[in-house]
Chains A and B, each alone.
Chain A
Amino acid sequence: MWIYEKRLQYPVNIKKKCPKTAQLIITQYGGPDGELGASMRYLSQRYVMPIDEGKALLTDVGTEELGHFEMIGAMVRQLTRGLTKEEIVTAGFEPFYVEHGLGVFPQNAGGAGFNAAAFQSKGDPITDLYEDMAAEQKARSTYEYLLKMIDDPDVLEPLRFLRAREIVHFQRFGEVLEKVRDRFASTNVFTF
């Protein structure tokens, strides 16, 4: 089970509204390489992971990703709280507004809703770990593109933190890949 702790992993305190920025970073909330997908991927892949190190890592990283999901949600909220009609129209935020008002909805930057088809739980721990490493790289690239498009330091700082986490997770998944491979070197015991 899970227990909620009422704080963000990394503090978010955005003082300037910006619907345009919200529309970009929301892809890390519900887009194909976003935090929600990351969490669901790892938490779903745990069940066929054959080694304890891997079960623990998928659980703990999957949990951390939920914390990142909350950070991005908080950022979207702070960027859109109290928007006026004029601010919405100027930023081209109307399509989001007519669907969701000023709510926070898991979607990509182009407006497509969250889709579990963006990740896999393949039943093969080696395949899953390769996917996890690729997923961390895709999220890192997304954060780097966001860092290039955004100017507000209050937004940049948490995004840079999140980018660094992708690199740490990549390393850890790589280490577990090594361990799974070592322990099951000769036979394919996973599929049956």
Chain B
Amino acid sequence: MYDKNMKLAQSYVPIQKFEKIYSAIDSLKEGTAFEGLAKAAKENYTPSSVMGVKIPDRASTIDSELKALCEYGFKALDLQLFIDVNPDCVEAIEKYNETVELYKKAKEVYERKAGALRSFVCGSSDNNFDYIKSPWPWD
């Protein structure tokens, strides 16, 4: 593991290359858009007792428009964190832009049904005052 460029009294994290990424659906399910990091989450860290926990797919219990919004929003966010650190990665930026477009569409669909998601000037609904309507996210 020792590389000649490494120095004593430092710790090192390998720089991630932009490779295999998940669909938006799987990104939300795995907690990351990156296959490599999902693998790290499973292999490198978790005691076997935690991995043994069976978690049924709750997808059917969640409003499908909201679910799509969360999926695209989350994939875009995780790509953004990658781009923060790798601002010159064209491939990541392309994927990010693609995902943001899908997010915007999902947001419009959801807002037509549930009311404005934002109260401020960037709210995309025609009538921002429906922002106050229940349910709120914790209801």
Write the residues of chain A forming the contact surface with B, with a CB cutoff of 8 angstroms: 3-13, 52-53, 56-57, 60-61, 64, 70, 73-74, 77-78, 130, 133, 140, 144, 147-148, 153-154, 156-157, 160-165, 167-179, 181
The smallest C-beta distance from A78 to any residue of chain B, in angstroms, reads: 7
Write the residues of chain B forming the contact surface with A, with a CB cutoff of 8 angstroms: 10-13, 15-16, 28, 30-32, 34, 37-38, 40-41, 45-47, 49-50, 53-56, 58, 61-62, 66-67, 69-70, 73-74, 77-78, 80-82, 84-87, 116-120, 122, 131, 136-138
Across the interface, A154 reaches (CB within 8 A) one of B58, B67, B116, B136, namely B58
* Complex alpha-carbon distance, A76 and B118, angstroms: 24
10 sample A-B contacts, Cβ–Cβ < 8 Å, listed by A number: A6-B131, A7-B137, A12-B137, A52-B87, A57-B81, A57-B85, A60-B80, A70-B138, A153-B55, A171-B37
Q: How many A-B residue pairs have CB under 8 A?
A: 134
* Complex alpha-carbon distance, A3 and B116, angstroms: 13
* A153 engages B118 (CB within 8 Å): no
Please judge, given known A-B contacts A7-B69, A11-B67, A178-B13, whether A172 and B58 are in contact too, CB under 8 Å: no
Supply 17 further A-B pairs (C-beta < 8 A) apart from A161-B28, A167-B32, A167-B45.
A6-B136, A7-B73, A11-B62, A12-B137, A57-B85, A74-B137, A144-B47, A147-B53, A153-B56, A164-B30, A164-B41, A165-B32, A167-B41, A171-B16, A172-B82, A172-B84, A178-B15
Please judge, given known A-B contacts A13-B58, A153-B55, A156-B53, whether A6 and B118 are in contact too, CB under 8 Å: yes
Secondary structure of the A contact surface, majority rule: helix
* B58 engages A163 (CB within 8 Å): no
The smallest C-beta distance from A182 to any residue of chain B, in angstroms, reads: 10
Instruction: Give the chain B neighbours of A165 by CB distance below 8 A.
Output: 31-32
Instruction: Give the chain A neighbours of B28 by CB distance below 8 A.
Output: 10, 161
Instruction: Give the chain A neighbours of B16 by CB distance below 8 A.
Output: 171, 175
* B46 engages A144 (CB within 8 Å): yes
Across the interface, B85 reaches (CB within 8 A) one of A147, A153, A162, A179, namely A179
The smallest C-beta distance from A174 to any residue of chain B, in angstroms, reads: 2
Across the interface, B62 reaches (CB within 8 A) one of A3, A5, A13, A173, namely A13
Instruction: Give 8 nearest A-B pairs by CB, closest first.
Output: A174-B13, A164-B31, A74-B138, A56-B84, A57-B84, A161-B31, A167-B41, A8-B137
Please judge, given known A-B contacts A157-B55, A168-B34, A171-B37, whether A9 and B45 are in contact too, CB under 8 Å: no
Most A CB within 10 A of own CB, among B13, B55, B117, B119: B13
Q: Which residue of A lies closest to B38 (CB)?
A: A164
The smallest C-beta distance from A77 to any residue of chain B, in angstroms, reads: 5
Instruction: Give the chain A neighbours of B116 by CB distance below 8 A.
Output: 6
* B13 engages A163 (CB within 8 Å): no
Instruction: Give the chain A neighbours of B78 by CB distance below 8 A.
Output: 168
Instruction: Give the chain A neighbours of B81 by CB distance below 8 A.
Output: 57, 60-61, 64, 168-169, 172
* Complex alpha-carbon distance, A145 and B46, angstroms: 11
